[in-house]
Structure 1
Amino acid sequence: MPTDENTITATRTSLRIVEALKRLDGAGVTAVAKDLDMTKSTVHNHLKTLEDEGYVTNEGTTYRVGLRFLELGEYKRNRMDIYEKARPEVKALAEKTGETANAAVEEHGEGVYITRAEGTEAVTVDTYAGKRVKLHCTALGKTILAELPEERVDEILDTHGLPARTENTITDREELQAELATIRERGYAYDREERLSGLRCVAAPVVPEDGGLVAALSVSGPTTRMQGDLFHTDIPELLRSAANVIEINLAYS
């Protein structure tokens, strides 16, 4: 945890409590205090302040994250050029493949989904706009890592590590570096059940000419369908084409 002398402890405590409410899917004061190893009085005071300011709601004895955060997230997202340019291409990818299509960017060393669309055959998974994931275990994330400077990649891995999500997750640094080199050469990345068992994914990078925010597009689906030419040729080609369209739109809009 950062210890910068300018850090405001009370602010960090409030944010940790908000994160706990999300992780616990809503909770009372006692549950949050136990989860964070804080006193109930401290948790109550922060929750009451957050409630008064509209950032959490109180349903009887259960506090939940409020929709005020949605307003802030939408404000941020709607000011991102990559979101406006990626949204129609993501929708088109979902329609063409029948699977789930996504776009994500890197923020604070994690991948953040900024838009997604479901095709007619899409399966239900745990992704949604705003969802944060580790970069090393997703095709989207590995695509982004492959485009970042080596120093930034090292910084991200030093901070977030390489935790295993499934038995297929890459947890060795040298193995990941080799994978990133292959992705740079090939132009797209694979997730072979590395974040969720039974789910495969292909992703391609969106690299603006002006050196702006690197993003990634992906298509994901069940392993039973994501194989053969579809997985190795068809979807990668669709992704690279969509990424190229976005890059051109970013350059000349």
Structure 2
Amino acid sequence: MSRDEAENGDSRPRSPTIKSVETSLEIVDELQARDGARVSELAEAIGKSKGTIHKHLITLLKHDYVVKSGGEYRIGLRFLDIGGYALHQIEGRQYIEPKIRELADLTGETVQFSVEQRGRCVILGRKAGQKGVFSRARVGKRFYMHQVAGGKAILANLPDEHVREIVSRHGLPAATDATITNETVLFEELETVRERGYAFNIDESTRGLHAVGVPLMGPDGEIFGAFAVAGPSHRMRGEQFKDEIPNTVRSVVNELELNLAHS
């Protein structure tokens, strides 16, 4: 099983791929994960010779996808331009960003908006309110959908067949001992989310972090993405967590859905 298959829980046969491109992408992933690295470190992590790794790095350096400082390579800002372009392709983004800021001001907590792409939950926008705490989330960060409130809110509004395909591809890996790792339990949770209209994340992605996720439906009636409000467990609890914050988010989302429908 390849490294990608092991990480994603996917052991199905893959279409033929170009190995040299895969190596370059592995290098990029390692540079991001390590916040920069030397040739020897990358060679050991990826399992390629230092000569091979160096050739890939020189190519990436030539095209500004990596930069070099001393003997260490880091991700280059060329990716920032590509990421910005990808983000601007999202229709309705101009309506979503003001709502992220509004919810951050209303709740005082950290708010993010995410969509599903290839079975992962991808953060498209994020803002910390007055009381917002640091978390692993950032624009472009991908999460396993079953681990986060926004991801579960999206899953609950996808056809069951699509959800099973996502589980088959990525598995149900645990981030904490509270993460759902059983498919039957996940479908039971998603049914509950559909009935009440929002999802909870209680220590499931990060211990001590709680979140509420509310789906955003598109004008065509299909799921567009989800807003999530996250904060520390000592604040996100009781009536505020179970009722007040979900109702606040749903009110803002309903207004946004009307705007999208008539835009």
Q: TM-score, normalised by structure 1?
A: 0.96
Aligned to 1:16: 26
Aligned to 2:154: 144
* CA shift for structure 1 position 212: 5.7
Write the distance in 1 (CA, Å) between the matches of 2:68 and 2:171.
Answer: 36
Q: Is the 2:158–2:223 contact (alpha carbons within 8 Å) kept by the matching residues of 1? A: no
Aligned to 1:224: 234
Aligned to 1:90: 100
* CA shift for structure 1 position 80: 1.1
Aligned to 2:164: 154
Write the distance in 2 (CA, Å) between the matches of 1:180 and 1:137.
Answer: 12
* CA shift for structure 1 position 39: 1.1
Q: Is the 1:18–1:65 contact (alpha carbons within 8 Å) kept by the matching residues of 2? A: yes
Residue 202 (str. 1) matches residue 235 (str. 2): no
Aligned to 1:77: 87
Moved over 3 A (4+): none
Q: Is the 1:136–1:142 contact (alpha carbons within 8 Å) kept by the matching residues of 2? A: yes
Aligned to 1:4: 15
Q: What amino acid sits opposite 1:140 in the alignment?
A: G
Write the distance in 1 (CA, Å) between the matches of 2:92 and 2:203.
Answer: 27
Q: What amino acid sits opposite 2:64 in the alignment?
A: G
Residue 59 (str. 1) matches residue 63 (str. 2): no
Aligned to 2:139: 129
Q: What's the CA shift string for 1:191-237, capped at 9, x where partnerless?
A: 00100011000010001022566200010000000011110111101
Q: Is the 2:36–2:74 contact (alpha carbons within 8 Å) kept by the matching residues of 1? A: yes
Q: What's the CA shift string for 1:123-172, capped at 9, x where partnerless?
A: 11111111111101100110111111111111111111111111111111
* CA shift for structure 1 position 60: 1.1
Q: What amino acid sits opposite 2:18 in the alignment?
A: I
Residue 44 (str. 1) matches residue 54 (str. 2): yes
Residue 245 (str. 1) matches residue 261 (str. 2): no
Q: What amino acid sits opposite 1:197 in the alignment?
A: R
Question: How many pairs does the alignment contain?
Answer: 252
Residue 174 (str. 1) matches residue 174 (str. 2): no
Q: Is the 2:31–2:73 contact (alpha carbons within 8 Å) kept by the matching residues of 1? A: yes
Aligned to 1:117: 127
Write the distance in 1 (CA, Å) between the matches of 2:211 and 2:74.
Answer: 32
Q: TM-score, normalised by structure 2?
A: 0.93
Q: What's the CA shift string for 1:162-191, capped at 9, x where partnerless?
A: 111111111111101100000011100000
Write the distance in 2 (CA, Å) between the matches of 1:137 and 1:232.
Answer: 18
Write the distance in 2 (CA, Å) between the matches of 1:82 and 1:144.
Answer: 17
Write the distance in 2 (CA, Å) between the matches of 1:80 and 1:205.
Answer: 16
Write the distance in 2 (CA, Å) between the matches of 1:245 and 1:69.
Answer: 34
Q: Is the 1:21–1:65 contact (alpha carbons within 8 Å) kept by the matching residues of 2? A: yes
Percent of counterpart pairs with the same letter?
42
Structure 2: which 5+ runs fail to align? 6-12
Q: Is the 2:123–2:141 contact (alpha carbons within 8 Å) kept by the matching residues of 1? A: yes
Write the distance in 2 (CA, Å) between the matches of 1:246 and 1:76.
Answer: 22
Write the distance in 1 (CA, Å) between the matches of 2:15 and 2:138.
Answer: 33
Q: What's the CA shift string for 1:93-145, capped at 9, x where partnerless?
A: 11011100110001111111100111111111111111111101100110111
